[in-house]
Amino acid sequence: MGAAKHEMMRYQDERWSEIDDDRSACKECFNDEGIKKFITLNSSGIGCDFCDDGEKRKSLDLNSVIEFVADCINREYADPQGVLPWDSEDGCYLLESEIISTEFLIGDFPAVIS
């Protein structure tokens, strides 16, 4: 299989697609420290297509940033079909323990959830 076909199939599997232009973004365009570090370590150009301050900042093409974000999401939120056992009797995936939805929010928003 050719490289282009392989990339297209990966985009479809991961449910995202490549942007069809050559725009780049600098780390100042993002709030997330992980994305900022990724752009700093992998910058391939000078000049941001989104900042309008005239400064020549190190930047990275948007497709690389999108691929990085998609990879991070896929690492954190895997498809249950590939990682959890299926209980055919109950018709659901088996979890190690029951998870209450507010348990996810308490760590991020302790002042809001009491």
Q: Alpha-carbon distance 20 to 88, whole Å?
A: 43
Q: 86-87 and 45-46: which strand pairing?
A: unpaired
**C-alpha distances in Å from residue 5, one per residue of 1, 42, 62:** 7, 25, 20
Q: pLDDT for 32-73, tens place per residue?
A: 999 999 999 999 888 898 887 777 889 999 889 988 988 888
At residue 80 the predicted structure's pLDDT band, cuts being 50, 70 and 90, is confident
* Cβ–Cβ under 8 Å, residues 40 and 57: no
CA neighbor of 26 nearest in space, from 64, 53, 58: 58
Kindly state the average pLDDT of the residues 16-20.
66
Q: C-alpha angle 79/84/86, rounded to 5°?
A: 110
Q: Alpha-carbon distance 94 to 82, whole Å?
A: 12
pTM value surpassing 0.85 = no
| Domains in the chain: boundaries | 19-106
